[in-house]
């Protein structure tokens, strides 16, 4: 299992648009095969940083998931919404594996 962390740099005056984008992914991502942990919008501190976090079985599963997401009607609509509204300034993805559980228990590979 790997976890995808998406770091967004967003327009601080368009957090409402990002929140609508996040709610749409809240429906489409699980339907297309990833285990969505959640989307996180600015609350305190930085007004331009937001995150999306989900688990996926492997990088191969990720590629298949991305194809399903591109074909999903709500997924296509959401990509177009972000392109049209331009509230996302930058988007970076990072894939990590769990190295320990709470209290230091080691997760075996």
Distance CA 32, CA 23 (A): 15
Whether residue 86 lies inside any domain: the answer is yes
Residue 14 structure tokens:
């368009």
**73 or 105: whose pLDDT is higher?**
73
pLDDT value at residue 34:
97
- Backbone phi, psi, residue 107, to 5°: -90, 125
Residue 103 above 70 pLDDT? no
Whether residue 10 lies inside any domain: the answer is yes
DSSP state of 104: G
Report the domain count for the chain.
1
Whether residue 109 lies inside any domain: the answer is no
Beta bridge partners of 49: 9
* pLDDT tens sequence across 4-23: 999 999 999 999 999 999 99
Residue 30 above 80 pLDDT? yes
DSSP 3-state of 56: strand
Q: What is the CA radius of gyration of the chain?
A: 15
Residue 31's CATH number = 3.30.70.100
Residue 41 structure tokens:
């919008």
Host domain of residue 87? 2-104
Total-model pTM:
0.87
Distance CA 16, CA 13 (A): 8
């Amino acid at each position: 299992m790997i976890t995808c962390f998406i770091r967004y740099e967003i327009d601080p005056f368009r957090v409402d648009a990002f929140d609508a984008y996040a709610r749409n992914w809240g429906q489409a991502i699980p339907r297309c095969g990833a285990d969505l942990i959640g989307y996180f919008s600015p609350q305190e501190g930085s007004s331009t940083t937001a995150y999306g976090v989900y688990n996926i079985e492997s990088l191969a599963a990720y590629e298949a998931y991305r194809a399903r997401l591109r074909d999903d009607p709500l997924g296509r609509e959401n990509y177009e919404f972000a392109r049209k509204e331009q509230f996302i300034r930058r988007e970076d993805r990072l894939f990590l594996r769990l190295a320990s559980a709470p209290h230091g228990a080691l997760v075996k590979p």
